[in-house]
Structure 1
Amino acid sequence: MPNWVDGHPADSLSIKDRGLAYGDGLFETIAVRGGRPPLLEYHMARLADGCRRLGIPLDLQLMRTELVAFSAGLGEGVAKLMVTRGDGLRGYAPPPVALPRRILQSAAFPLYPENNAQQGVQLFPCSTRLAEQPMLAGLKHLNRLEQVLARAEWQDGEHAEGLMRDVSGRVIEGVFSNLFMVHDGVLLTADLSRCGVAGVMRAALLDSAKAQGLQVEVRDITYDEFIQADEVFLCNSLFGVWPVRSVTGHHWPVGPLTRKLQVIARDLLDI
């Protein structure tokens, strides 16, 4: 399927685009199944929040309409949606009147090993740390250099994901996923008010867990608390839930709450 730029098939961008020059924009990685994006409302809510916080005047209804049409044409696969502030002159100052650019790219689903979901994965302990910037925390903005550096730290097939901590050593997330833990029946995930990406699957699982009456806490998590967890799992909007079985000599079983949320994630993604 051809890529779209501003609602039309295209394979090129203006070299004046601020997304290219400064990472001035946002993106969403969206699973498409049966011609529809299952987590559409979560993606649109995060995009709306990001545009509000960055001051990008995106027509959200137009973006939704284009995304739905693009998904229908794609059928099955991954739609990557990028929104930039549009063209600008040299210099950091944003243009007084921004004309946001809407970009949609298609790709096949990544071929993850089935054992990742069935038996769990091993995490690589990344030395790259997430910097603290509350004004950008939670956003899926276009500048992902921390993740690029972290992902370059391992090349083997033994590790399926990397563990990312912040500059103070708190456990935050995976390189391309969010992280959950279970302690004494309580579902924990990191506070993302300083750094990290607030994933849509993370949001959907938190909503589902609360709706089912599970005890949920979103707060700072130390590394010592992390390795003492009863269960650990990762989630994102493409693979759903992967149990974590180990990191640097520490091991966890695939527990019942992980399996329960794994089924919920599959239902949310129409898998």
Structure 2
Amino acid sequence: MFLINGTEQRQLAASDRAIQFGDGCFTTARILAGQIQFAPAHIQRLRLACERLCIPFNDWDLLAQEMASLAQGKADGVVKVILSRGGGGRGYSAAGCDSPTRILSVSARPAHYARWQREGVTLALSDVCLGRNPMLAGIKHLNRLEQVLIRAGLEQTGADEALVLDSDGWITECCAANIFWRQGQEVFTPRLDYAGVDGIMRQYCMRQLASSGFRVVEVNARQQALAQAEEVVICNALMPVVPVRQWGELRWSARDLYQFLAPLCEQINQS
């Protein structure tokens, strides 16, 4: 099901800047027991992205109501929200683009996440690196060609997810997830100042770790850092957290971090 500006339809104007330039942002939220999990955080993510991209969207209460309506009555599922600058302007100019487009869709939650949680996943190092751009780093904008190419490469391997570096060789994220690794009580996650997506579940996990016996540290790290890890986990708003069992010749069986985070990430948390 798709809602475009509040109307159930699947047609979008060819002049919309989401199509013309990928000029917009999005978020993907989990439906849990008829509610949008972390709904305020998803709205805040979209607000931040619109501010960064100078998209004049202001109907936040209406958007939140539409998201909640799509979730109502569903035990589990996914709501995706796209905000486009809309139509107008000439060429790259956004002059006159004062009517942003909102696109909402609802779908089933991927069934394989339950198996991943039980069995853990394998990683493959991606040949595609993320470009470094501090103006776009962290937000979930519509320009996802890097992830499309990462996914295409991943599908040529037998792995479940990709370990992705930026163009300077720093560990950044996975194709569709953030990454943490643990050494003792210290938990590391990549800095995202220049590339990558600061995921809703990443933010939540960091808050939970900050008030626990673990110590979370954002770092610039090379891929060799994983060789020192006792445990690796990945996360996104839908998984929500999954253990990594293997990357190349490295194997991990410890589950301390995963067992701490997993039950917390299944709560219907509205913050």
Q: Report the TM range for the smaller structure's normalisation.
A: over 0.9
Match of 1:262 in 2: 262
Residues 170-206 of structure 1: per-residue CA shift (max 9 Å, x gap): 1111100000011231111110010001110001111
Matched to 2:54, the amino acid is G
1:117 positional shift: 0.8
Name structure 1 gaps, 5 residues minimum. Answer: none
Residues 23-81 of structure 1: per-residue CA shift (max 9 Å, x gap): 10001111112221011121111111111111111122222122112222655311110
Aligned partners of 2:180, 2:40: CA distance in 1, in Å?
A: 22
Match of 2:185 in 1: 185
Match of 1:31 in 2: 30
Q: Is the 8 A contact 1:231 1:252 kept in 2?
A: yes
Q: Which secondary structure state, in structure 2, belongs to the residue aligned with residue 130 of structure 1?
A: coil
Match of 2:17 in 1: 18
Measured at CA, do residues 7 and 75 of structure 1 come closer, stay the same or move farther in structure 2, by a change above 3 Å?
farther
Aligned partners of 1:115, 1:11: CA distance in 2, in Å?
A: 32
Residues 202-251 of structure 1: per-residue CA shift (max 9 Å, x gap): 01111111123531111212211122211111001111111111112111
Is the counterpart of residue 130 in structure 1 residue 130 in structure 2?
yes
Aligned partners of 2:269, 2:246: CA distance in 1, in Å?
A: 26
Residues 65-109 of structure 1: per-residue CA shift (max 9 Å, x gap): 221122226553111100000002441111234211000011111
Deviates more, 1:181-190 or 1:152-161: 152-161
Match of 1:52 in 2: 51
Matched to 1:55, the amino acid is C
Is the counterpart of residue 87 in structure 1 residue 90 in structure 2?
no
Q: Which secondary structure state, in structure 2, belongs to the residue aligned with residue 181 of structure 1?
A: strand
Aligned partners of 1:157, 1:268: CA distance in 2, in Å?
A: 35
Q: Is the 8 A contact 2:190 2:218 kept in 1?
A: yes
Match of 2:217 in 1: 217
Measured at CA, do residues 74 and 262 of structure 1 come closer, stay the same or move farther in structure 2, by a change above 3 Å?
closer
Aligned partners of 1:74, 1:82: CA distance in 2, in Å?
A: 21
Aligned partners of 1:93, 1:114: CA distance in 2, in Å?
A: 45
Matched to 1:109, the amino acid is R
Is the counterpart of residue 63 in structure 1 residue 102 in structure 2?
no
Match of 1:106 in 2: 106
Match of 2:118 in 1: 118
Match of 1:176 in 2: 176
Aligned partners of 1:61, 1:210: CA distance in 2, in Å?
A: 31
Matched to 2:117, the amino acid is A
Aligned partners of 2:113, 2:212: CA distance in 1, in Å?
A: 30
Residues 157-176 of structure 1: per-residue CA shift (max 9 Å, x gap): 84111110011111111100
Match of 2:2 in 1: 3
Aligned-pair identity in percent equals 32
Aligned residues: 269
Deviates more, 1:149-158 or 1:173-182: 149-158
Match of 2:244 in 1: 244
Q: Which secondary structure state, in structure 1, belongs to the residue aligned with residue 33 of structure 2?
A: coil
Aligned partners of 2:221, 2:11: CA distance in 1, in Å?
A: 43
Aligned partners of 2:23, 2:99: CA distance in 1, in Å?
A: 12
RMSD after superposition: 1.8
